[in-house]
Amino acid sequence: MWMKSVISAALAGTAALAAGDASAQGLPDNVLTAELREGWRQDSGRQMTALRLTLAPGWKTYWRAPGDAGIPPSFDWTGSRNVAGVSYHWPKPDVFDINGLRVIGYRDELVLPVEFTATDPGKPMAVSGRIDLGVCDEICVPMTVSVTQAFSGSTAPDPVIQSALAAMPEATKSTARCEAEPIRDGLRMTARVPIPRVGPDEFAVIELADRNVWISPADTSRDGGELRAIADMVPPNAQPFALDRSGVRITIFGGSGRVVDVQGCAG
C-alpha cells in the first residue's frame, strides 16, 4: 500500500538555499514526490516500512550528513498513533561535486527504510510525519513533505524495502580508538580505525548521536593499515563537553563506490 504525500515547497528564508517563487525559478512540477510504503510487521513487533522519494531527472537530495554544503533531512512523527520509537536504515549514498563542494546524497530516488516501534504491539499503529529536506540540481531549494500511513499488520516482506536494506554500507568489526581534547568552543576528536584501504580516494565522515553538535569535515589520512580522522565538534553552548564514545559513528567512503560503517569507538 502506498499513500501519496502532500508536498509544499518552502522557498524562503533558509541560509545557503535559493529563495523565491518556484515557477520563477523554473522548477519542474514533479521535482519531488513522496510515498510511505507500508512494509511488514516483524517478529519483534516492529514495523519495517520505507519512505520513497522520487526526484525529477538529475535532481538530488541529501544524506543524513550532507557533506560540505546542504542541510540534512529532519523528521517529525509527533502526529503518529501507538509509536514509541523510530530508527532509520540509510542506503549507501553517492558523492557529488557541486560547484567545487563535496556533497553526499542520492540522485533521482531514495528508498529509506524506516522502522517503527509500537508503544503497545497488540494495538494498531498509524504514522503521520513531516520531513524537511533539501533538493538540488543547478539550484538548491528546501522542501517539506508530509506522509501518512496506517498499517494492516501484514507480515509479508516487501522486496523493494529489502533491496534498500541490502544496499546499506558495509559493517565492520574493526574497533575505532577515539581521543578527545578540549578546544575553546568544544572539542577536537581524533579517531584511529585499523582497517585496510577502502578505496583510492578515502575520506571519513564523523557523526554523533547528538545531532545538535556541529562537526567539521574530517581531516582524513592514513598510516599504513590505520585510517586517521580528525574533526572539531562544537555544541550549541560552544563549550568543551564530555564525549560519549558509544555515540560516535564513522563512515568511510572509498571513492570507488565502497562505503564502510564503523559504530562506536573505544577510549
Residue 95 pairs with which residues in a beta bridge?
A: 104
Q: In the prediction, which pLDDT does 7 show? A: 34
Q: In the prediction, which pLDDT does 26 show? A: 61
How far is the first Cα of the chain from the last one, in angstroms, to the nearest whole number? 46
Burial environment of residue 233 by CB neighbours within 10 A (0 to 12, 13 to 18, 19 or more): buried
Can you read off the three cell numbers belonging to residue 109?
530516488
Q: For the full predicted model, state whether its pTM sits above 0.85.
A: yes
Res 169 pLDDT > 50: yes
Tens digit of pLDDT for each residue in 129-147? Answer: 999 999 988 788 999 999 9
Using CA atoms, how far apart are residues 242 and 250, in angstroms rounded to an integer? 18
Tens digit of pLDDT for each residue in 192-207? Answer: 999 999 999 999 999 9
Tens digit of pLDDT for each residue in 45-65? Answer: 999 999 999 999 999 999 999
- What percentage of the chain carries pLDDT values higher than 70? 90
Can you read off the three cell numbers belonging to residue 204?
571519513
Cell 565522515 sits at which residue?
205
Structural domains of the chain, with CATH? 2-166 (2.60.40.1250), 170-266 (2.60.40)
